[in-house]
Structure 1
Protein backbone atom coordinates (compact mmCIF):
# COMPACT_ATOMS: atom_id res chain seq x y z
CA UNK A 1 0.00 0.00 0.00
CA UNK A 2 1.00 3.62 -0.45
CA UNK A 3 1.79 5.66 2.68
CA UNK A 4 -1.64 7.40 2.59
CA UNK A 5 -3.38 4.03 2.16
CA UNK A 6 -1.43 2.60 5.10
CA UNK A 7 -2.37 5.56 7.27
CA UNK A 8 -6.04 5.30 6.30
CA UNK A 9 -6.01 1.62 7.24
CA UNK A 10 -4.44 2.41 10.61
CA UNK A 11 -7.00 5.11 11.33
CA UNK A 12 -9.80 2.68 10.52
CA UNK A 13 -8.76 0.63 13.55
CA UNK A 14 -10.62 1.21 16.78
CA UNK A 15 -7.59 2.19 18.84
CA UNK A 16 -5.37 5.06 19.92
CA UNK A 17 -2.22 5.38 17.83
CA UNK A 18 0.65 6.67 19.94
CA UNK A 19 2.81 8.82 17.67
CA UNK A 20 6.25 9.99 18.86
CA UNK A 21 7.32 12.94 16.73
CA UNK A 22 10.69 12.97 15.02
CA UNK A 23 13.00 15.78 13.97
CA UNK A 24 15.40 14.07 11.56
CA UNK A 25 16.02 10.77 9.81
CA UNK A 26 17.79 9.16 12.77
CA UNK A 27 15.08 10.00 15.29
CA UNK A 28 12.46 8.70 12.85
CA UNK A 29 14.42 5.47 12.46
CA UNK A 30 14.46 5.04 16.23
CA UNK A 31 10.68 5.56 16.36
CA UNK A 32 10.21 2.79 13.82
CA UNK A 33 12.69 0.49 15.58
CA UNK A 34 10.70 0.95 18.81
CA UNK A 35 7.63 -0.49 17.08
CA UNK A 36 5.44 2.59 16.61
CA UNK A 37 3.26 2.53 13.51
CA UNK A 38 3.53 6.20 12.49
CA UNK A 39 5.53 9.35 13.16
CA UNK A 40 5.14 13.09 12.68
CA UNK A 41 7.84 15.54 11.69
CA UNK A 42 7.45 18.20 14.37
CA UNK A 43 8.01 21.71 13.02
CA UNK A 44 9.24 22.84 16.44
CA UNK A 45 11.78 20.03 16.68
CA UNK A 46 12.80 20.13 13.01
CA UNK A 47 13.49 23.86 13.20
CA UNK A 48 15.60 23.39 16.31
CA UNK A 49 17.48 20.46 14.78
CA UNK A 50 18.05 21.83 11.28
CA UNK A 51 18.71 25.53 11.83
CA UNK A 52 19.14 25.76 15.60
CA UNK A 53 16.35 28.32 15.84
CA UNK A 54 12.83 28.46 17.33
CA UNK A 55 9.72 27.47 15.42
CA UNK A 56 8.65 31.02 14.53
CA UNK A 57 8.37 30.77 10.77
CA UNK A 58 12.13 30.99 10.20
CA UNK A 59 12.54 27.70 8.33
CA UNK A 60 11.46 27.92 4.68
CA UNK A 61 9.15 25.61 2.76
CA UNK A 62 12.12 24.20 0.86
CA UNK A 63 14.03 23.41 4.05
CA UNK A 64 11.01 21.73 5.64
CA UNK A 65 10.33 19.69 2.52
CA UNK A 66 13.96 18.60 2.32
CA UNK A 67 13.82 17.45 5.95
CA UNK A 68 10.64 15.47 5.20
CA UNK A 69 12.30 13.77 2.21
CA UNK A 70 15.26 12.72 4.34
CA UNK A 71 12.98 11.29 7.01
CA UNK A 72 10.75 9.53 4.51
CA UNK A 73 13.75 7.86 2.88
CA UNK A 74 14.86 6.47 6.25
CA UNK A 75 11.61 4.77 7.35
CA UNK A 76 8.74 2.72 5.98
CA UNK A 77 6.07 3.73 8.52
CA UNK A 78 3.71 6.58 7.53
CA UNK A 79 5.16 10.05 7.99
CA UNK A 80 2.85 12.95 8.81
CA UNK A 81 4.47 16.29 7.99
CA UNK A 82 4.03 19.82 9.32
CA UNK A 83 2.91 22.01 6.40
CA UNK A 84 2.69 25.06 8.64
CA UNK A 85 0.27 27.71 7.30
CA UNK A 86 0.89 26.55 3.73
CA UNK A 87 3.58 29.23 3.25
CA UNK A 88 1.34 31.82 1.63
CA UNK A 89 -2.06 32.09 0.02
CA UNK A 90 -4.32 29.27 -1.15
CA UNK A 91 -2.15 28.60 -4.21
CA UNK A 92 0.90 28.24 -1.96
CA UNK A 93 -1.09 25.78 0.14
CA UNK A 94 -1.77 23.71 -2.99
CA UNK A 95 1.94 23.65 -3.84
CA UNK A 96 2.84 22.73 -0.26
CA UNK A 97 0.45 19.78 -0.22
CA UNK A 98 1.63 18.57 -3.63
CA UNK A 99 5.27 18.83 -2.56
CA UNK A 100 4.78 16.75 0.58
CA UNK A 101 2.75 14.24 -1.39
CA UNK A 102 5.52 13.80 -3.96
CA UNK A 103 8.00 13.40 -1.10
CA UNK A 104 6.04 10.32 0.03
CA UNK A 105 4.36 11.73 3.13
CA UNK A 106 1.16 10.06 4.28
CA UNK A 107 -0.42 13.29 5.56
CA UNK A 108 0.30 17.00 5.76
CA UNK A 109 -0.87 19.39 8.46
CA UNK A 110 -2.27 22.77 7.45
CA UNK A 111 -3.18 25.26 10.17
CA UNK A 112 -5.10 28.51 10.55
CA UNK A 113 -2.46 30.55 12.34
CA UNK A 114 -1.45 33.99 11.16
CA UNK A 115 1.97 33.81 9.49
CA UNK A 116 4.62 33.63 10.75
CA UNK A 117 3.25 30.79 12.84
CA UNK A 118 4.28 29.94 16.40
CA UNK A 119 4.36 26.83 18.52
CA UNK A 120 0.84 26.21 19.78
CA UNK A 121 1.93 26.38 23.42
CA UNK A 122 3.97 29.59 23.26
CA UNK A 123 2.86 33.25 23.53
CA UNK A 124 1.90 35.55 20.68
CA UNK A 125 0.03 33.26 18.31
CA UNK A 126 -3.05 34.44 16.42
CA UNK A 127 -5.33 32.96 13.76
CA UNK A 128 -6.54 34.25 10.43
CA UNK A 129 -10.20 34.95 9.75
CA UNK A 130 -12.63 32.15 9.04
CA UNK A 131 -12.75 32.68 5.27
CA UNK A 132 -8.99 32.50 4.89
CA UNK A 133 -8.80 29.49 7.20
CA UNK A 134 -11.43 27.67 5.17
CA UNK A 135 -9.74 28.60 1.89
CA UNK A 136 -6.52 26.99 3.11
CA UNK A 137 -8.23 23.68 3.83
CA UNK A 138 -10.26 23.84 0.62
CA UNK A 139 -7.06 24.38 -1.36
CA UNK A 140 -5.32 21.55 0.50
CA UNK A 141 -8.15 19.13 -0.27
CA UNK A 142 -8.18 20.19 -3.93
CA UNK A 143 -4.41 19.67 -4.19
CA UNK A 144 -4.52 16.12 -2.87
CA UNK A 145 -7.18 14.91 -5.32
CA UNK A 146 -4.81 12.84 -7.45
CA UNK A 147 -2.37 11.64 -4.80
CA UNK A 148 -4.74 10.94 -1.89
CA UNK A 149 -2.42 12.38 0.77
CA UNK A 150 -4.39 12.92 3.98
CA UNK A 151 -5.10 16.43 5.21
CA UNK A 152 -4.58 17.06 8.92
CA UNK A 153 -6.43 20.31 9.63
CA UNK A 154 -5.35 22.26 12.69
CA UNK A 155 -6.96 25.21 14.42
CA UNK A 156 -5.38 27.38 17.12
CA UNK A 157 -8.56 29.43 17.62
CA UNK A 158 -8.95 28.21 21.22
CA UNK A 159 -6.23 30.64 22.35
CA UNK A 160 -7.91 33.96 21.45
CA UNK A 161 -11.47 33.02 20.46
CA UNK A 162 -12.47 30.21 22.81
CA UNK A 163 -13.24 26.54 22.49
CA UNK A 164 -16.57 26.96 20.71
CA UNK A 165 -14.97 28.86 17.83
CA UNK A 166 -12.21 26.27 17.58
CA UNK A 167 -14.75 23.43 17.40
CA UNK A 168 -16.81 25.31 14.80
CA UNK A 169 -13.75 25.81 12.62
CA UNK A 170 -12.72 22.18 12.92
CA UNK A 171 -16.23 21.03 12.03
CA UNK A 172 -16.09 23.13 8.87
CA UNK A 173 -12.66 21.73 8.06
CA UNK A 174 -14.22 18.25 8.14
CA UNK A 175 -17.05 19.37 5.85
CA UNK A 176 -14.46 20.69 3.40
CA UNK A 177 -12.78 17.29 3.26
CA UNK A 178 -10.08 17.25 5.97
CA UNK A 179 -9.29 13.71 7.09
CA UNK A 180 -7.93 14.33 10.61
CA UNK A 181 -8.89 17.16 12.96
CA UNK A 182 -6.58 18.83 15.44
CA UNK A 183 -7.84 21.43 17.92
CA UNK A 184 -4.66 22.74 19.51
CA UNK A 185 -4.12 23.51 23.20
CA UNK A 186 -7.34 22.62 25.05
CA UNK A 187 -6.84 23.59 28.69
CA UNK A 188 -8.70 20.84 30.57
CA UNK A 189 -9.77 17.23 30.23
CA UNK A 190 -13.36 18.48 29.93
CA UNK A 191 -12.37 20.54 26.89
CA UNK A 192 -10.68 17.52 25.36
CA UNK A 193 -13.86 15.49 25.86
CA UNK A 194 -15.95 18.27 24.32
CA UNK A 195 -13.71 18.30 21.24
CA UNK A 196 -14.06 14.57 20.65
CA UNK A 197 -17.79 14.51 21.40
CA UNK A 198 -18.50 17.43 19.06
CA UNK A 199 -16.40 16.54 16.03
CA UNK A 200 -16.59 13.68 13.52
CA UNK A 201 -13.79 11.54 12.18
CA UNK A 202 -10.31 10.94 13.62
CA UNK A 203 -9.04 13.53 16.11
CA UNK A 204 -5.46 14.13 17.21
CA UNK A 205 -4.31 15.07 20.70
CA UNK A 206 -1.06 16.98 21.14
CA UNK A 207 0.67 15.74 24.29
CA UNK A 208 3.34 18.29 25.16
CA UNK A 209 5.00 17.74 28.51
CA UNK A 210 4.94 21.12 30.27
CA UNK A 211 2.40 22.56 27.83
CA UNK A 212 -1.12 23.90 28.36
CA UNK A 213 -2.97 20.64 27.68
CA UNK A 214 -3.24 18.01 30.44
CA UNK A 215 -0.90 15.06 29.96
CA UNK A 216 -3.18 12.03 30.21
CA UNK A 217 -2.54 8.30 29.99
CA UNK A 218 -2.98 6.44 26.72
CA UNK A 219 -6.03 4.71 28.17
CA UNK A 220 -7.62 8.04 29.08
CA UNK A 221 -6.94 9.55 25.65
CA UNK A 222 -8.50 6.51 23.97
CA UNK A 223 -11.51 6.70 26.28
CA UNK A 224 -11.99 10.37 25.43
CA UNK A 225 -12.07 9.48 21.75
CA UNK A 226 -8.75 10.48 20.21
CA UNK A 227 -7.38 8.40 17.33
CA UNK A 228 -3.83 9.79 17.50
CA UNK A 229 -1.74 10.98 20.43
CA UNK A 230 1.20 13.02 19.15
CA UNK A 231 4.22 13.59 21.39
CA UNK A 232 5.90 16.54 19.63
CA UNK A 233 8.91 17.20 21.83
CA UNK A 234 9.41 14.06 23.91
CA UNK A 235 12.31 12.76 21.81
CA UNK A 236 13.96 16.14 21.38
CA UNK A 237 13.66 17.03 25.06
CA UNK A 238 15.14 13.66 26.03
CA UNK A 239 17.97 14.03 23.52
CA UNK A 240 18.81 17.58 24.62
CA UNK A 241 18.76 16.58 28.29
CA UNK A 242 21.10 13.68 27.58
CA UNK A 243 23.45 15.77 25.44
CA UNK A 244 23.73 18.66 27.88
CA UNK A 245 24.35 16.20 30.70
CA UNK A 246 27.11 14.32 28.92
CA UNK A 247 28.70 17.58 27.75
CA UNK A 248 28.89 18.71 31.37
CA UNK A 249 30.45 15.37 32.31
CA UNK A 250 32.94 15.65 29.46
CA UNK A 251 33.92 19.17 30.52
CA UNK A 252 34.64 17.87 34.03
CA UNK A 253 36.38 14.74 32.72
CA UNK A 254 33.79 12.64 34.58
CA UNK A 255 32.87 9.03 33.68
CA UNK A 256 30.42 8.77 30.78
CA UNK A 257 30.09 5.05 30.03
CA UNK A 258 26.79 4.66 31.91
CA UNK A 259 25.01 7.33 29.86
CA UNK A 260 26.38 6.36 26.44
CA UNK A 261 24.81 3.82 24.10
CA UNK A 262 27.13 0.90 23.50
CA UNK A 263 29.09 1.39 20.26
CA UNK A 264 27.93 -1.96 18.89
CA UNK A 265 24.29 -1.06 19.53
CA UNK A 266 24.79 2.41 18.06
CA UNK A 267 26.19 0.97 14.82
CA UNK A 268 23.36 -1.55 14.59
CA UNK A 269 20.63 1.06 15.03
CA UNK A 270 22.16 3.39 12.45
CA UNK A 271 22.28 0.53 9.95
CA UNK A 272 25.90 -0.55 9.65
CA UNK A 273 25.11 -4.25 10.15
CA UNK A 274 22.40 -4.20 7.50
CA UNK A 275 24.67 -2.36 5.09
CA UNK A 276 27.49 -4.90 5.43
CA UNK A 277 25.10 -7.84 5.15
CA UNK A 278 23.57 -6.43 1.96
CA UNK A 279 26.92 -5.40 0.49
CA UNK A 280 28.27 -8.94 0.84
CA UNK A 281 26.35 -9.81 -2.34
CA UNK A 282 28.64 -7.51 -4.33
CA UNK A 283 32.26 -8.60 -4.53
CA UNK A 284 33.97 -5.22 -4.70
CA UNK A 285 31.73 -3.56 -2.08
CA UNK A 286 31.86 -6.56 0.20
CA UNK A 287 35.63 -6.25 0.57
CA UNK A 288 35.30 -2.79 2.17
CA UNK A 289 36.33 -2.84 5.85
Structure 2
Protein backbone atom coordinates (compact mmCIF):
# COMPACT_ATOMS: atom_id res chain seq x y z
CA UNK A 1 0.00 0.00 0.00
CA UNK A 2 2.79 2.41 0.93
CA UNK A 3 4.60 1.74 -2.36
CA UNK A 4 1.48 2.51 -4.41
CA UNK A 5 0.97 5.79 -2.57
CA UNK A 6 4.62 6.81 -2.95
CA UNK A 7 4.60 5.99 -6.66
CA UNK A 8 1.39 7.95 -7.19
CA UNK A 9 2.84 10.97 -5.37
CA UNK A 10 5.96 10.74 -7.52
CA UNK A 11 3.84 10.90 -10.68
CA UNK A 12 4.45 7.32 -11.80
CA UNK A 13 1.80 6.13 -14.28
CA UNK A 14 1.77 2.42 -13.41
CA UNK A 15 3.07 -0.26 -11.08
CA UNK A 16 3.88 -3.89 -11.84
CA UNK A 17 3.11 -6.52 -9.19
CA UNK A 18 4.12 -10.15 -9.64
CA UNK A 19 3.46 -13.54 -8.11
CA UNK A 20 7.01 -14.86 -7.89
CA UNK A 21 8.39 -15.76 -4.50
CA UNK A 22 11.19 -13.58 -3.20
CA UNK A 23 14.03 -13.56 -4.11
CA UNK A 24 12.71 -13.47 -7.66
CA UNK A 25 14.40 -14.72 -10.81
CA UNK A 26 14.36 -13.47 -14.36
CA UNK A 27 11.11 -14.73 -15.87
CA UNK A 28 13.05 -16.56 -18.58
CA UNK A 29 15.06 -18.68 -16.13
CA UNK A 30 14.06 -22.12 -14.89
CA UNK A 31 13.20 -23.12 -11.31
CA UNK A 32 11.01 -20.14 -10.48
CA UNK A 33 8.60 -20.32 -7.56
CA UNK A 34 5.26 -18.55 -7.20
CA UNK A 35 3.23 -17.56 -4.16
CA UNK A 36 -0.30 -18.88 -3.74
CA UNK A 37 -3.14 -17.44 -5.78
CA UNK A 38 -4.79 -16.28 -2.56
CA UNK A 39 -1.69 -14.40 -1.38
CA UNK A 40 -1.34 -12.70 -4.76
CA UNK A 41 -5.01 -11.72 -4.79
CA UNK A 42 -4.45 -10.02 -1.41
CA UNK A 43 -1.44 -8.11 -2.80
CA UNK A 44 -3.56 -6.87 -5.71
CA UNK A 45 -6.47 -5.90 -3.48
CA UNK A 46 -4.12 -3.96 -1.21
CA UNK A 47 -2.69 -2.07 -4.22
CA UNK A 48 -6.16 -1.31 -5.59
CA UNK A 49 -7.34 -0.11 -2.19
CA UNK A 50 -4.30 2.15 -1.80
CA UNK A 51 -4.76 3.75 -5.22
CA UNK A 52 -6.25 7.25 -5.14
CA UNK A 53 -5.81 8.12 -8.83
CA UNK A 54 -8.04 6.16 -11.21
CA UNK A 55 -5.47 6.69 -13.97
CA UNK A 56 -2.76 4.90 -11.96
CA UNK A 57 -2.48 1.52 -13.73
CA UNK A 58 -1.92 -1.74 -11.86
CA UNK A 59 -0.09 -4.25 -14.07
CA UNK A 60 -0.22 -7.77 -12.67
CA UNK A 61 2.32 -10.37 -13.76
CA UNK A 62 2.16 -14.12 -13.39
CA UNK A 63 5.11 -16.46 -13.83
CA UNK A 64 2.94 -19.49 -13.13
CA UNK A 65 2.87 -21.07 -16.61
CA UNK A 66 6.39 -22.45 -16.12
CA UNK A 67 5.69 -23.44 -12.51
CA UNK A 68 2.12 -24.76 -12.22
CA UNK A 69 1.05 -25.02 -15.87
CA UNK A 70 -1.36 -23.40 -18.29
CA UNK A 71 -4.65 -24.15 -16.52
CA UNK A 72 -3.48 -22.74 -13.20
CA UNK A 73 -2.03 -19.69 -14.95
CA UNK A 74 -5.38 -18.95 -16.61
CA UNK A 75 -7.20 -19.50 -13.29
CA UNK A 76 -4.79 -17.09 -11.61
CA UNK A 77 -5.34 -14.51 -14.35
CA UNK A 78 -9.11 -14.71 -13.83
CA UNK A 79 -8.67 -14.22 -10.09
CA UNK A 80 -6.22 -11.37 -10.58
CA UNK A 81 -8.67 -9.55 -12.85
CA UNK A 82 -11.45 -10.01 -10.27
CA UNK A 83 -9.10 -8.55 -7.64
CA UNK A 84 -8.61 -5.40 -9.71
CA UNK A 85 -5.76 -5.87 -12.21
CA UNK A 86 -5.89 -3.29 -15.01
CA UNK A 87 -3.37 -5.07 -17.26
CA UNK A 88 -2.16 -8.69 -17.25
CA UNK A 89 1.43 -9.71 -17.94
CA UNK A 90 1.64 -13.47 -18.55
CA UNK A 91 5.38 -14.06 -18.43
CA UNK A 92 7.31 -16.44 -20.68
CA UNK A 93 4.60 -17.62 -23.04
CA UNK A 94 6.45 -20.36 -24.89
CA UNK A 95 4.99 -20.65 -28.39
CA UNK A 96 3.09 -18.51 -30.89
CA UNK A 97 0.09 -20.72 -30.15
CA UNK A 98 0.30 -19.95 -26.42
CA UNK A 99 0.55 -16.24 -27.16
CA UNK A 100 -2.56 -16.39 -29.34
CA UNK A 101 -4.41 -18.58 -26.84
CA UNK A 102 -3.66 -16.19 -23.98
CA UNK A 103 -4.94 -13.27 -26.05
CA UNK A 104 -8.17 -15.13 -26.83
CA UNK A 105 -8.72 -16.35 -23.25
CA UNK A 106 -8.09 -13.08 -21.43
CA UNK A 107 -10.47 -10.18 -21.95
CA UNK A 108 -8.27 -7.47 -20.49
CA UNK A 109 -5.35 -5.37 -21.80
CA UNK A 110 -2.28 -7.60 -22.06
CA UNK A 111 1.46 -6.90 -21.85
CA UNK A 112 4.04 -8.94 -23.79
CA UNK A 113 7.66 -9.20 -22.66
CA UNK A 114 9.92 -9.35 -25.75
CA UNK A 115 13.19 -10.93 -24.60
CA UNK A 116 15.68 -11.83 -27.31
CA UNK A 117 16.99 -15.39 -26.75
CA UNK A 118 14.43 -15.86 -23.96
CA UNK A 119 11.63 -18.41 -23.77
CA UNK A 120 8.97 -16.49 -25.71
CA UNK A 121 8.56 -16.33 -29.50
CA UNK A 122 9.83 -13.12 -31.07
CA UNK A 123 6.62 -11.76 -32.55
CA UNK A 124 6.63 -8.21 -33.87
CA UNK A 125 4.73 -5.42 -32.16
CA UNK A 126 2.37 -5.38 -35.16
CA UNK A 127 1.67 -9.12 -34.83
CA UNK A 128 1.10 -8.75 -31.09
CA UNK A 129 -1.20 -5.78 -31.58
CA UNK A 130 -3.28 -7.81 -34.05
CA UNK A 131 -3.62 -10.52 -31.41
CA UNK A 132 -4.85 -7.94 -28.90
CA UNK A 133 -1.75 -7.08 -26.86
CA UNK A 134 -1.74 -3.42 -25.78
CA UNK A 135 1.80 -3.11 -24.40
CA UNK A 136 5.09 -4.63 -25.59
CA UNK A 137 8.24 -4.12 -23.54
CA UNK A 138 11.85 -4.69 -24.64
CA UNK A 139 13.75 -4.82 -21.33
CA UNK A 140 16.87 -6.60 -22.56
CA UNK A 141 17.38 -5.24 -26.09
CA UNK A 142 19.79 -2.44 -25.23
CA UNK A 143 21.62 -4.47 -22.56
CA UNK A 144 22.17 -7.46 -24.85
CA UNK A 145 23.36 -5.17 -27.66
CA UNK A 146 25.73 -3.23 -25.43
CA UNK A 147 27.13 -6.43 -23.90
CA UNK A 148 27.89 -7.76 -27.39
CA UNK A 149 29.54 -4.55 -28.58
CA UNK A 150 31.58 -4.12 -25.39
CA UNK A 151 32.84 -7.69 -25.80
CA UNK A 152 33.89 -6.95 -29.38
CA UNK A 153 35.64 -3.72 -28.40
CA UNK A 154 37.52 -5.35 -25.53
CA UNK A 155 38.58 -8.25 -27.77
CA UNK A 156 39.94 -5.78 -30.34
CA UNK A 157 41.72 -3.79 -27.64
CA UNK A 158 43.36 -6.95 -26.33
CA UNK A 159 44.34 -8.06 -29.83
CA UNK A 160 45.61 -4.75 -31.25
CA UNK A 161 46.39 -2.61 -28.22
CA UNK A 162 44.16 0.21 -29.49
CA UNK A 163 40.56 1.12 -30.25
CA UNK A 164 41.39 3.91 -32.73
CA UNK A 165 40.24 1.79 -35.68
CA UNK A 166 36.80 1.35 -34.06
CA UNK A 167 35.94 5.03 -33.72
CA UNK A 168 33.59 5.03 -36.73
CA UNK A 169 31.35 2.72 -34.69
CA UNK A 170 31.39 4.98 -31.61
CA UNK A 171 29.65 8.23 -30.75
CA UNK A 172 31.97 11.13 -30.04
CA UNK A 173 32.75 12.04 -26.46
CA UNK A 174 30.86 15.30 -26.98
CA UNK A 175 27.76 13.49 -28.26
CA UNK A 176 27.98 11.12 -25.29
CA UNK A 177 28.07 14.07 -22.89
CA UNK A 178 25.09 15.67 -24.65
CA UNK A 179 23.10 12.43 -24.40
CA UNK A 180 23.72 12.52 -20.64
CA UNK A 181 22.56 16.14 -20.42
CA UNK A 182 25.95 17.55 -19.45
CA UNK A 183 25.35 21.02 -20.94
CA UNK A 184 22.24 21.57 -18.82
CA UNK A 185 24.10 20.30 -15.74
CA UNK A 186 26.96 22.72 -16.39
CA UNK A 187 24.47 25.57 -16.90
CA UNK A 188 22.89 24.77 -13.52
CA UNK A 189 26.32 24.65 -11.90
CA UNK A 190 27.15 28.08 -13.33
CA UNK A 191 23.80 29.52 -12.22
CA UNK A 192 24.17 28.42 -8.62
CA UNK A 193 27.96 28.51 -8.23
CA UNK A 194 29.24 30.32 -5.16
CA UNK A 195 31.78 33.04 -5.94
CA UNK A 196 35.27 32.30 -4.71
CA UNK A 197 36.25 34.28 -1.64
CA UNK A 198 39.87 35.44 -1.41
CA UNK A 199 41.76 34.84 1.82
TM-score range, shorter chain: 0.7 to 0.9
- Structure number with greater CO (CA < 8 Å, separation at least 6) is 1
In the TM superposition, 1:237-276 aligns within 5 A as: 237-252=144-159, 253-254=161-162, 255-275=165-185
Structure 1 residue 167 displacement after superposition? 1.8
Cα 1:103–1:251 shift into 2, 3 Å: farther
Give the aligned partner of residue 2 of structure 2.
Answer: 95
Name the SS of the counterpart of 1:227 in structure 2. Answer: strand
- In structure 2, how many angstroms separate the alpha carbons of the residues matched to 1:234 and 1:99? 29
C-alpha separation in 2, matches of 1:201 and 1:283: 50
Displacement, 1:284? 6.6
Q: What RMSD in Å do the two structures reach over aligned CA positions?
A: 2.3
Provide the C-alpha distance between the structure 2 equivalents of 1:142 and 1:184, rounded to a whole number of angstroms: 25
Q: Secondary structure at the match of 1:178?
A: coil
Question: Which residue number in structure 2 is paired with residue 170 of structure 1?
Answer: 77
Q: Secondary structure at the match of 2:20?
A: coil
Cα distance, 1:177 vs structure 2: 1.4
Contact 1:203 1:225 in 2 (8 A): yes
Number of residue pairs matched? 191
Residue 108 of structure 1 aligns to a residue in which SS? strand
Secondary structure at the aligned position of 2:74 is classed as helix
Query: 2:141 matched to 1:234?
Result: yes
| Partner residue of 1:201 out of 104, 108, 115 | 108
Assess if the C-alpha contact under 8 Å between 1:141 and 1:151 holds in 2: yes
The answer to whether the aligner puts 1:104 opposite 2:11 as a matched pair is yes
Residue 110 of structure 2 corresponds to residue 216 of structure 1: no
Q: How many Å separate the matches in 1 of 2:99 and 2:42?
A: 26
- Between the aligned partners of 2:44 and 2:8, the Cα distance in structure 1 is 15
Kindly state the Cα deviation for residue 205 of structure 1 after the two structures are TM-superposed.
0.3
- Greater C-alpha Rg: 2
Post-superposition CA distance 1:172-219 (Å, at most 9, x none): 212221111111111111111111112122100011111111001121
> Can you give the 5+ residue segments of structure 1 that lack an aligned partner in the other structure?
1-93
How many Å separate the matches in 2 of 1:117 and 1:272? 36
Output the TM-score relative to the length of structure 1: 0.60
| CA-to-aligned-CA distance 1:26-85 (integer Å, 9 cap, x gap) | xxxxxxxxxxxxxxxxxxxxxxxxxxxxxxxxxxxxxxxxxxxxxxxxxxxxxxxxxxxx
2:38 is aligned with 1:131:
yes
Q: 2:94 matched to which residue of 1?
A: 187
Q: Which runs of 5+ in 2 are unaligned?
A: 195-199
Return the alpha-carbon distance in structure 1 between the equivalents of residues 138 and 113 of structure 2. 6
State how far apart, in whole Å, the 2-side matches of 1:138 and 1:103 are.
Answer: 21
